[in-house]
Amino acid sequence: MWQQLPIHILLTLGWMALWGSSAWWHAAAGAVVGGAILYALTKGTGQPFYLKRVAALVKFVIVFLWELIMAANFVVRISTAPKPRHRPGIVALPLRLKTDATITALTHLLSLTPGAVPIGISPDRSEIFIHCLDLNELEAVRASKERFEDLLLEVTQ
Amino acid sequence: MVAWAAAAAQAMIGLSLLLSAFRVLRGPTALDRTAAFDTFSANLVALIAVEAIRDLTTVHFDLAMMISLVPFVFSVVVAKFIVKGDIIDRDTN
Amino acid sequence: MTEILTSVSLSDLLTSLLLLAGAFLILAGAIGVARFADFFSRVHAAGVPSTVGVATVLAASAVYLSAHMDQVFWKPILAITGLFLTVPLGTEMLARAAYITNVKPAESYQRDDAEERHAVEHKEAVE
């Protein structure tokens, strides 16, 4: 699937060579035309189109930045409250990811979401243990974990 | 306007350096001190960035990059040592 | 009024906003670190807000220095990447070490699934 990337670059360079120019608009037009050719080819061969994966990655980054802003907002609200009334606790949430790399990525992302720090996974990898700053916000933690898991599955499959 | 904002930011960051230094000195356990030291050095990076804005120089930034990477090594080493009493081992957990 | 508005350039405005927002986040995180009662709450406050705040201040410096030096200045971006790759991992390792060595919360947890399932083996801290 990722071998489509060098082909795309080659198609773009070929377009630029045909025009005999290295201006950016020729590069952009070449990228568009190359993408269209590749898309048509993947329709024929039944392979997944690699730009779809790239789009998933971009969506992932945007969701991540939004979660980050919400996380900062949440911790600021609790730490500047006159009387901290949060109820900390440790919850187990089901884990759908199986490989080492994706679980590492998930824990890394989760420690940047609102009031959640992962502290371990169960030996059979079916559950992840998360320390929540506020159990009242448990649903938010569960929702962001589900969203990250969906996105990671989308990017790696 | 940037000068005023930079001065205000510097004051706020200085206050937060003091607060995290308080936790480094006070913290009951070694883990508390380490976590507070993490915050302390991250705040130091921010202070260097504001200083670069005020002086309009870029020479400090290599320093800022180094400081942003050191506390990570420090906290990993402390966490491993607290759990295992050893830093370099062949155990992957 | 219009004179003031036109004399302030867009990059200066953006720099000031980013600086103030980032400094506020950093201050809130440090307040949390100084005043929360137990280790796990403090680790929450140490992780997220200070990372995001420092990243915001570094972004402000990138904008300002790029605008005033007539070339794009990449080093703050590198520092932001380094921070985002390292700080969450450090936070997580510290929290895990604290849980394994049985650091007690200020009040006992209302819910502790890991304890119920005996998933984590507790050990004595080496100090």
Enumerate the β-bridge partners of residue A58.
Answer: none
C52's tokens: 């995001």
Residue C112 falls within a domain, yes or no? no
> Under 8 Å CB-to-CB from C108, ≥6 apart: which residues?
none
Question: Could you tell me if A59 and A119 lie in one domain?
Answer: yes
Contacts of B69 (CB under 8 A, 6+ apart): C82, C86
Sequence letter at residue C34: A
Chains that touch C (3 or more CB pairs under 8 A): A, B
Q: How many domains does chain C have?
A: 1
A96 — pLDDT class (breaks 50, 70, 90): confident
**Residue C20: per-residue pLDDT:** 92
Q: What pLDDT band is residue C1 in, cutting at 50, 70 and 90?
A: very low
Domain count for chain A: 2
Q: Tell me: do A39 and A91 sit in the same domain.
A: no
As given in the structure block, the two tokens for residue A84 are 């901290």
What's residue C7's pLDDT? 55
- Residues A77, A130, single domain; the answer is yes
Distance in angstroms between the alpha carbons of the first and the last residue of chain B: 51
Place of tokens 């080493």: B77
pLDDT of A122 > 90? The answer is no
Residues A100 and A59 in one domain: yes
For helices B61-84 and C75-100, angle between their N-to-C axes, nearest 10 degrees: 10
Pairwise CA distance, residues C125 & C71, whole Å: 51
Residue C86 belongs to a domain: yes
Indicate yes or no: CB of C52 within 8 angstroms of CB of A92: no
Mean pLDDT value of segment A118-122: 84
Residues A77 and A123 in one domain: yes
Mean pLDDT of C89-106: 84
Q: Judge whether A42 and A87 are in contact, CB under 8 Å.
A: no
What value does the mean pLDDT of chain A take?
83
CA distance B90 to chain C (A): 17
Q: Which of B4-18, C12-26, C62-76, C113-127 has the lowest mean pLDDT?
A: C113-127
* Residue-wise DSSP of A30-97: HHHHHHHHHHHHHHHH-PPPHHHHHHHHHHHHHHHHHHHHHHHHHHHHHHTSSS-----EEEEEE---
In which domain, by residue range, is C90 found? 11-107
**Do both A64 and A133 map to the same domain?**
yes
A86 to chain C: nearest residue by CA?
A: C41
Q: Looking at the partner chain, which of B12, B42, B64 has a beta carbon nearest the beta carbon of C87? A: B42
Q: CA angle, corner C65, sides to C63 and C68, nearest 5? A: 105
Helix C75-100 to helix B30-55 angle, to the nearest 10 degrees? 170
Cα distance between residue C40 and residue C92, in whole Å:
10
What token pair was written down for C43? 């680790």
Residue A132 belongs to what domain range? 50-156
A128 shares a domain with A62: yes
Count CA atoms closer than 13 A to A12's CA, side-chain side: 17
| Model confidence at A127: pLDDT above 50 | yes
CB contact under 8 A, B83 and C101: yes
Q: Which residue has the tokens 């990898």?
A: A125
At C82-95, the pLDDT tens digits run: 888 888 888 888 88
Residues A15 and A57 in one domain: no
Residue C31 lies in a domain: yes
Same domain, A77 and A125: yes
Cβ–Cβ gap C90/B71 under 8 Å: yes
Same structural domain for residues A86 and A24?
A: no
Subunits with 3+ Cβ pairs within 8 Å of A are C
The residues that bridge with A120 in the sheet, in sequence order, are: A129
Give the count of Cβ contacts less than 8 A between chain A and C: 118
| One domain for residues A108 and A149 | yes
Rounded to two decimals, the pTM is 0.80
Mean pLDDT over residues A133-150, rounded? 84
The DSSP call for residue C71 is S
- This model of the complex carries an ipTM of 0.86
Residue A131 pLDDT more than 80?
yes
Token representation of residue B1? 């306007």
- A66 & A139 share domain: yes
Does pLDDT of C60 surpass 80?
A: yes
Are the CB atoms for C94 and B35 separated by under 8 Å?
yes
Asked if the Cβ–Cβ distance from B13 to C23 is below 8 Å, we say yes
Structure tokens at B31: 């883990």
User: What is the full DSSP assignment across A96-153?
Assistant: ---SHHHHHHHHHHHTTSTTEEEEEE-TTSSEEEEEES-GGGHHHHHHHHHHHHHHHH
